[in-house]
């Protein structure tokens, strides 16, 4: 797709809860599209639902977007501060005869709805009040304002992702613009907002595609330019079904969530999540990893697929692991501190460079920061127990001889020097295990870490230092002698 001039798009979440992972994917697509075409990306908070909207939710939306690295242009727009604008447009439609007041009692409309359901037909407002002379409106009775849907309208509209979408006559009626308390409905306020904010492209989930015909007719009634529409396929769970809050605990066990904020808690890097979500449903050849600059240069709507984006926990962790490896040790160390704090470890007070050294040993195998923090625990806390299977395999009679030899070495060698440690171990393996390093390394690894799975033993010993190595070896020897400390 060639460059488009005067692009202005928006992301418009409702502050009634956490920011949905599908919502932030929509925000990413909007932002990248704007940057690709040198346009603007705006943020609008749709907070007219006073009972459900909260400041906490607004703060959470802004924090989540900033965490993942999205930057919007201009100040955020709040619908709650635009009520006069909606009222002006409402009065204009009434004055021009393109809207009318409907006084039909709610119970009467509900009865008609139930009758339609019983007859298995689509309920549509029967336009009772459309036929009323406005001069005969009953005074003092509550009313809603309805849009006077034109008798003639297009049979389809064009979508930049989905192609030609037919307009279903059965889904069009004289819909409500404003409620009895004068608050605007979604389809009314969103058109007024997008028109007055001069939005050029409306990029949103395809669950909105049935709203679009109503909105197009309203744009035309208000004589505003109709923006281009692009309806993205939704984000689904690993099994292909729609994401559901009720399955959140199930999702978390897989390493995903419905909430954006949970990804930070689960130890994902923001640029990894951004990369993964940008790639979810969009492609650029076989490329999987993109810098931010590459995404802004290459993203466009013509490469967005028509099928739902399926969250793949394994793929997400693979992308995150890539970014962990590519990020500097000092940056990862700084990010790791709060995750260690959750495990009761105050790593921020450690000597300079200590945590960075630990990080360098864990980066090759860690998929998330939570996993890295859990694997780092043994560096800070000596094991108080030993893996039973490893103990049975590696602490056979005679293992204490190996531990004692290493303990003796610890008193004379510089264990802060990794190469010195490796040389000494290989010499010991030649003398005591026929050159088989594993028969020496694994009993020691078990003594120092509590398991036989860890980074390079030489790295571990170098980071722990002679004093701590001796302390842990003494604890293991006492365990082997049957007299644990």
How many Å apart are CA 177 and CA 11, to the nearest integer? 22
Helix (H) or strand (E) holding 9: strand 8-11
Backbone angles phi, psi at 150, to 5 degrees: -65, 155
Q: How far is CA 94 from the centre of its chain?
A: 42
Q: How far is CA 253 from the centre of its chain?
A: 16
Give the 3-state secondary structure of residue 356. Answer: helix
Annotated catalytic residue, options 245, 306, 393, 436: 245
Strand partners, 146: 100, 176
**CA proximity to 12, closest of 27, 22, 2:** 27
How many Å apart are CA 186 and CA 52, to the nearest integer? 15
Catalytic-residue membership of 245? yes
How many Å apart are CA 300 and CA 388, to the nearest integer? 55
Query: Six-digit token pair at 338?
Result: 């709060």
How many Å apart are CA 183 and CA 417, to the nearest integer? 71
Do 47 and 78 touch, CB atoms closer than 8 A? yes
How many Å apart are CA 11 and CA 29, to the nearest integer? 10
Which residues belong to the active site? 245
């Amino acid at each position: 797709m060639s460059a488009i001039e005067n692009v202005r798009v928006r992301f418009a979440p409702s502050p009634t809860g956490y920011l949905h992972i599908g919502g932030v994917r929509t925000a990413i697509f909007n932002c990248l599209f704007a940057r690709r075409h040198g346009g603007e990306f705006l943020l609008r908070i749709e907070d007219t639902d006073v009972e459900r909207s909260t400041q906490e939710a607004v703060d959470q939306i802004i924090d989540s977007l900033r965490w993942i690295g999205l930057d919007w242009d201009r100040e955020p727009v709040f619908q709650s501060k635009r009520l006069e604008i909606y009222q002006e447009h409402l009065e204009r439609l009434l004055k021009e005869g393109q809207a009318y007041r409907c006084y039909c009692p709610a119970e009467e409309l509900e009865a008609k709805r139930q009758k339609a359901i019983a007859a298995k037909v689509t309920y549509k407002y029967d336009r009772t009040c459309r036929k009323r002379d406005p001069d005969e409106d009953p005074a003092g009775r509550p009313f809603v304002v309805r849009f006077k849907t034109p008798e003639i309208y297009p049979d389809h509209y064009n979508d930049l992702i989905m192609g030609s979408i037919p307009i279903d006559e059965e889904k069009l009626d004289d819909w409500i613009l404003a409620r009895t308390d004068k608050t605007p409905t979604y389809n009314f306020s969103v058109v007024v907002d997008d028109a007055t904010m001069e939005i050029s492209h409306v990029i949103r989930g395809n669950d909105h595609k049935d709203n679009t015909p109503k909105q197009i007719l309203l744009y035309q009634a208000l004589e505003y330019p109709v923006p281009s529409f692009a309806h993205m396929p939704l984000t689904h769970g690993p099994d292909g079904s729609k994401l559901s809050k009720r399955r959140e605990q199930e999702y978390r066990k897989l390493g995903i969530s419905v909430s954006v904020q949970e990804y930070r808690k689960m130890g994902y890097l923001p640029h990894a999540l951004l990369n993964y979500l940008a790639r979810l449903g969009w492609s650029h050849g076989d490329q999987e990893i993109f810098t931010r600059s590459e995404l802004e240069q290459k993203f466009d709507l013509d490469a967005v697929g028509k099928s739902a984006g399926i969250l793949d926990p394994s793929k997400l962790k693979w992308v995150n692991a890539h970014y962990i490896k590519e990020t500097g040790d000092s940056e990862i160390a700084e990010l790791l501190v709060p995750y260690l704090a959750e495990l009761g470890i105050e790593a921020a007070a450690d000597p300079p460079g200590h945590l960075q050294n630990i990080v360098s040993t864990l980066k090759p195998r860690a998929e998330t920061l939570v996993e890295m923090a859990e694997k780092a625990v043994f560096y800070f806390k000596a094991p108080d127990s030993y893996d039973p299977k490893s103990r049975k395999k590696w602490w056979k009679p005679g293992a204490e001889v190996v531990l004692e030899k290493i303990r003796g070495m610890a008193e004379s060698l510089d264990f802060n020097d990794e190469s010195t440690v490796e040389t000494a171990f290989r010499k010991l393996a030649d003398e005591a295990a026929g050159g088989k390093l594993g028969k020496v390394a694994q009993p020691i690894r078990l003594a120092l870490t509590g398991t036989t799975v860890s980074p390079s033993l030489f790295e571990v010993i170098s980071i722990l230092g002679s004093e701590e190595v001796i302390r842990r070896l003494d604890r293991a020897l006492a365990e082997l002698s049957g007299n644990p400390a």
